[in-house]
Amino acid sequence: MSAEIYNFECQDINHQAKSLADFKDKVLLIVNTASNCGFTPQYEGLQKMYENYHSKGLEVLGFPCDQFLHQEPGSESDINQFCQTNYGVTFPMFSKIDVNGSDTHPLYSYLKKQAPGLFNSQAIKWNFTKFLVDKDGKVVKRYATRTKPEAIEADIAKLLA
């Protein structure tokens, strides 16, 4: 089954083209991230979830974004080093993108249309907004910044079953 999400191509953290079709038949948790944010410790929960569920079909995809109070000011190399050194991140990280405004990455335009936020808003309010995508490529839920990765675990387990 072909889903629209698999048509997107993104640059990974090392500036290599990566098709989301590479993640077909996986459950995806797509997150806009930042290194200097009050929610940055969520990297720990995201990594733990990745370790616990990756072998069962989960992919966590991190998309750094510097649109919220300049909380992701570094280069991709800086971001990658920060994530690995401080949180042992091994899940796929991508190049910095915009999630709002005229330069919104096409993937995020799609995600926001498929799973609007509170009051049907499409804007991403802050770092660490999360989108859950099922094995068929359907965006099933959007989670607010404050929702910790652990709180999403039951939804992920259900999609992996």
Task: Show which residues are catalytic.
Answer: 37
- Residue 70, φ and ψ in degrees, nearest 5: 55, 45
Contacts of 86 (CB under 8 A, 6+ apart): 43
Contacts of 103 (CB under 8 A, 6+ apart): none
Q: Would you state the structure tokens that stand for residue 39, as one six-digit string?
A: 């929610």
3-state helix, strand, coil in the chain (%, to 5): 35, 20, 40
130 DSSP assignment: E
35 DSSP assignment: S
Q: How far apart are CA 4 and CA 154, in angstroms?
A: 25
69 DSSP assignment: T
